[in-house]
């Protein structure tokens, strides 16, 4: 997915979540878990987390919970990042004072991040006009219909448009929050947070939100062995005939069932896995781009650059300059 953002003059660690009556509990918990927990084991400058609301008093949340916000909308004026964890409903109007506060925060340089139906709040500000965005796949058609100037991508986990970030539903909110940690603090810190959350350290924003239908258990077992083998041999050529034989399927059946299980064709899966491996090597090894291309199975730096830029919207060299760990960190 494209990584398009401008680096602020000074990092502002204050993250403010907009809470509201009818608060979506899981989406709020994603933000609170990533940005709100003290993490003394990590570097100084970790986030400070607050909540704000347009309404006064205790607010209802899902499942009988009550939430009392730390402050009112004026807290948005101090925030470096604002989280919109869902919304009351896709057809529920957003108060004008909330929209004005979000627009003012954006104009000041704050980042606005929505989870699930929170994208409807961002859309109502007009800030997403002419940009890509996503939301839960169930709401994508409605978002596109209500806000036709937005390019809605219903398939991806999240979209990073720099100051404006949107995620699909539920667990995709965790992926986007971790992506932002990665942007702010680098891959090492993001991986530590992911380990504490007991989730994968990185899922590419372009990964499919869901697969069309379940795969039979026996085929899951067969495909798991194939995928493990594919992952171990990224540097080597892997033909469909070879992979299908390993799964004991015809080539046609293998390609169909693979896509049903992963949301991608075998070729697309290999490209994504190779790009992910290239990211790891760019972040944590001293290898040249040419050497990394060979290690990942791309064959040449030209091919690596093509797929890397297509997937991430950035060149391998620029990515390495932005995210590579210093040598002293790689060697302890």
Q: Could you tell me the residue range of the domain that residue 242 belongs to?
A: 217-263
Residue 122 placed within a domain = yes
> End-to-end distance of the chain based on CA atoms, in angstroms?
31
Instruction: Please count the structural domains in the chain.
Output: 3
Least confident of 113-122, 158-167, 190-199, 235-244: 190-199
Residue 327 has pLDDT above 80, yes or no: no
Residues 26 and 51 placed together within one structural domain of the fold: yes
* Residue 49 banded pLDDT, cuts 50, 70, 90: very high
Residue 2 placed within a domain = no
Residue 213 has pLDDT above 60, yes or no: no
Residues 247 and 276 placed together within one structural domain of the fold: no
Residue 59 placed within a domain = yes
If we measure between CA atoms, which residue out of 228, 227, 229, 254 comes closest to residue 240?
Answer: 254
Residue 312 placed within a domain = yes
Question: In this predicted model, what pLDDT tens digit does every residue of 294-305 receive, in sequence order?
Answer: 999 999 999 999
Residue 110 has pLDDT above 90, yes or no: yes
Residues 69 and 150 placed together within one structural domain of the fold: yes
From the list 24, 30, 52, 116, the catalytic residue is: 116
Residues 142 and 182 placed together within one structural domain of the fold: yes
- Look up residue 46 and give its two tokens: 């970790």
Return the CATH number at 323. Answer: 1.10.10.60
Report d(CA 61, CA 257) in Å as an integer.
40
Q: What is the DSSP letter of 212?
A: S
Residue 68 placed within a domain = yes
Residues 139 and 173 placed together within one structural domain of the fold: yes
Residues 75 and 128 placed together within one structural domain of the fold: yes
Residues 176 and 292 placed together within one structural domain of the fold: no
- DSSP states of 181-208: HHHHH-HHHHHHHHHHHTS-S---TTSB
Q: What is the dihedral of CA 140, 308, 231, 261, to 10 degrees?
A: 20
Answer for the pair 296, 274: CB distance below 8 angstroms, yes or no. Answer: yes
* Residue 329 banded pLDDT, cuts 50, 70, 90: very low
Q: What is the mean pLDDT of residues 193-203?
A: 79
Least confident of 49-58, 172-181, 261-270: 261-270
Q: What is the mean pLDDT of residues 190-213?
A: 69
Residues 45 and 166 placed together within one structural domain of the fold: yes
Identify whether 116 is a catalytic site residue: yes
Residues 146 and 80 placed together within one structural domain of the fold: yes
- DSSP states of 239-305: -HHHHHHHTTS-HHHHHHHHHHHHSS-HHHHHHHHHHHHHHHHHHH----HHHHHHHHT--SHHHHH
Residues 89 and 225 placed together within one structural domain of the fold: no
Per-residue model confidence (pLDDT) at position 57:
94
Report d(CA 252, CA 241) in Å as an integer.
10
Residue 144 placed within a domain = yes
Question: In this predicted model, what pLDDT tens digit does every residue of 134-151 receive, in sequence order?
Answer: 999 999 999 999 999 999
**45 Cβ contact partners less than 8 Å away, ≥ 6 residues apart:** 11, 13
Per-residue model confidence (pLDDT) at position 331:
44
Residues 143 and 50 placed together within one structural domain of the fold: yes
Domain boundary among 225, 247, 263: 263
Q: What is the mean pLDDT of residues 151-157?
A: 89
Return the CATH number at 77. Answer: 3.40.50.880
Residue 3 placed within a domain = no
Residue 305 placed within a domain = yes
* Residue 221 banded pLDDT, cuts 50, 70, 90: low
* Residue 9 banded pLDDT, cuts 50, 70, 90: low
Least confident of 115-119, 185-189, 249-253: 185-189
Residues 276 and 297 placed together within one structural domain of the fold: yes
Per-residue model confidence (pLDDT) at position 266:
93
């Amino acid at each position: 997915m494209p990584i398009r953002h401008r680096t602020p003059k000074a990092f502002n660690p204050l993250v403010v979540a907009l809470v509201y009556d009818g608060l979506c509990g899981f989406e709020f918990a994603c933000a609170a878990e990533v940005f709100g927990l003290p993490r003394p084991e990590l570097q100084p400058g970790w986030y400070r987390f607050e909540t704000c609301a347009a309404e006064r008093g205790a607010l209802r949340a899902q499942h009988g919970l009550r939430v009392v916000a730390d402050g009112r909308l004026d807290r948005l004026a101090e925030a470096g990042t604002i989280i919109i964890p869902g919304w009351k409903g896709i057809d529920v109007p957003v108060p004008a004072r909330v929209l004005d506060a979000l627009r003012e925060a954006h104009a000041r340089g704050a980042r606005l991040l929505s989870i699930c139906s929170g994208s409807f709040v961002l859309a109502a500000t007009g800030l997403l006009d002419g940009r890509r965005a996503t939301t839960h796949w169930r709401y994508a058609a409605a978002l596109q219909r209500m806000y036709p100037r937005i390019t809605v991508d219903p398939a991806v986990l999240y979209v990073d448009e720099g100051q404006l970030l949107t995620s699909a539903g539920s667990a995709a909110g965790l992926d986007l929050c971790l992506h932002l940690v990665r942007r702010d603090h680098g891959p090492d810190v993001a991986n530590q947070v992911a380990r504490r959350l007991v989730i994968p350290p990185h899922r590419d924003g372009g990964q499919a939100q869901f697969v069309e239908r379940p795969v039979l258990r026996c085929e899951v077992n067969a495909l798991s062995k194939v995928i493990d083998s594919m992952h171990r041999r990224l540097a080597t050529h892997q033909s469909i005939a070879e992979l299908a034989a390993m799964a004991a399927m015809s080539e046609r059946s293998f390609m169909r069932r693979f896509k049903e299980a992963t949301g991608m064709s075998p070729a697309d899966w290999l490209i994504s896995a190779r790009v992910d491996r290239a990211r790891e090597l760019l972040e944590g090894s001293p290898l040249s781009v040419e050497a990394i291309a060979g290690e990942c199975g791309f064959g040449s730096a030209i091919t690596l650059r093509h797929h890397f830029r297509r997937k991430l919207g950035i060149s391998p060299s620029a990515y390495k300059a932005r995210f590579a760990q210093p040598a002293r960190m790689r060697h302890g």
